[in-house]
């Protein structure tokens, strides 16, 4: 009888619940950590993140009141990491927001309209795909000069195809469901169908996409700052911290490892959270990845 109990639907459900949350929990915890760091940085940092303490350049960790030491200019690393989280999240939110606001309507339109309109939107999408965030940012940076704004726009525009593609695919699926067919048969307007049936049904997948896109945006921002096309100094940024410390890899590797770890953990967090969310929404997909 115990064997049967182990495989009862309820037990299976419980087991699934626990497994599902592993990804979401770890991912969510990492995301929360980044968000917390960013929020805390508004009201408190151990030191002024941009203050140059010339007397304590390259101070080791836990010395002179510097928890993680100082960089080559004598700035507090811990404070820079905290404020860097703010920069990272800011760029991510704006970039993903732009991409979602532009890409989603385009994708829904393509999915609902079909025909030549859909074809044009998707071809334009494919074309945009050939312009990765980094190239766009470098182009914009060359013309306007590097700034947080150009980075955000470049990453946002480059992320549009991801949203449009997902929105279109999901919309196509929803358009074939019984309730949409019924609504169309009842003569509801296209806009009403889009707002009442399509959007609510594709929203969850779009949230998953937002989480995954956020991770990509963080990577892009870090790469841009590393190349000097992102947030300009003195505003702290993880990517630029990494770039500034590369030459010190022989003497003070800690300065490269810390921002590197911050980037990797933040990306890991958003990716895990997105993956976990997707599994949670559709357990059938779990085995496939």
Partner 1 sequence: MGLYLLVRAAVLVVSTAVASVVVFAVMAVLPGDPAEVALGVNATPEAVAAKRAEFGTDRPLVTQFLDWVSGLPTGDFGVSYVTSDHIGPQIVDRLGVTLWLVLFGMLTALVVAVPLGTAAAVRHRSVGGLLLSGLSQVGVAVPAFLAGILLVFLFAVTLRVLPSGGYTPLGEDPGAWFQQLLLPSLSLGLVQGAVLSRYVRSAVLDVMREDYIRTARAKGLGLYRALWRHGARNAAIPVVTVLGLQLATLLIGAVVVERVFTLPGLGSLLLDGVANRDLLLVQGTVMVLVVAVLAVNFLVDVLYAVLDPRLRGAR
Positions that interact with partner 1 (CB under 8 A): 123, 126-127, 129-132, 134-135, 138-144, 215, 219, 222-223, 226-227, 229, 242, 246, 249-250, 253, 256, 260, 263-265, 267-268, 271-272, 275, 287-289
**CA quadruple 72, 76, 77, 82: dihedral, nearest 10:** -150
d(CA 171, CA 106) in angstroms, rounded, equals: 11
Which is closer to partner 1, CB of 26 or CB of 93? 26
Which is closer to partner 1, CB of 122 or CB of 194? 122
d(CA 183, CA 74) in angstroms, rounded, equals: 65
Burial of 230 (0-12, 13-18, 19+ CB in 10 A): buried
Which is closer to partner 1, CB of 89 or CB of 112? 89
Smallest distance, Å, CB 190 to partner 1?
28
Smallest distance, Å, CB 131 to partner 1?
6
Smallest distance, Å, CB 275 to partner 1?
8
Smallest distance, Å, CB 208 to partner 1?
15
Please count the residues of the chain: 289
**CA quadruple 146, 148, 151, 157: dihedral, nearest 10:** -130
Q: How far is CA 279 from CA 11, 22, 138, 287, 289, in A?
A: 18, 11, 36, 9, 10
Which is closer to partner 1, CB of 95 or CB of 198? 95
Which is closer to partner 1, CB of 112 or CB of 223? 223
């Amino acid at each position: 009888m115990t064997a049967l109990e182990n495989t009862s639907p309820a037990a299976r459900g419980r087991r699934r619940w626990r497994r599902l949350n592993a990804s979401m929990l770890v991912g969510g915890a990492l995301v929360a950590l980044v968000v917390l760091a960013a929020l805390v940085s508004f009201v408190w940092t151990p030191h002024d993140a941009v203050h140059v303490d010339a007397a304590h350049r390259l101070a080791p960790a836990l010395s002179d009141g510097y928890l993680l030491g100082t960089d080559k200019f004598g700035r507090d690393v811990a404070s820079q990491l905290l404020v860097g989280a703010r920069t990272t999240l800011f760029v991510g939110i704006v970039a993903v927001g732009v991409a979602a606001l532009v890409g989603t309507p385009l994708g829904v339109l393509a999915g609902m309209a079909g025909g030549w309109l859909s074809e044009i939107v998707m071809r334009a999408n494919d074309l945009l795909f050939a312009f990765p965030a980094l190239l766009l940012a470098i182009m914009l940076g060359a013309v306007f000069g590097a700034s947080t704004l150009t980075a955000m726009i470049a990453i946002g525009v480059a992320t549009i195809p991801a949203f449009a593609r997902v929105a279109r695919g999901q919309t196509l699926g929803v358009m074939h469901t019984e309730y949409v067919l019924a609504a169309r048969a009842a003569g509801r307007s296209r806009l009403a169908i889009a707002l009442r049936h399509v959007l609510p049904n594709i929203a969850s997948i779009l949230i998953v996409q937002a989480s995954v896109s956020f991770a990509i945006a963080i990577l892009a921002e870090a790469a841009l700052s590393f190349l000097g096309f992102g947030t300009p100094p003195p505003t702290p940024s993880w990517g630029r911290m990494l770039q500034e410390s590369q030459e010190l890899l022989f003497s003070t590797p800690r300065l490269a490892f810390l921002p590197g770890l911050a980037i990797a953990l933040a990306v890991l967090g958003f990716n895990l959270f997105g993956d976990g969310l997707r599994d949670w929404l559709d357990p059938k997909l779990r085995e496939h990845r």
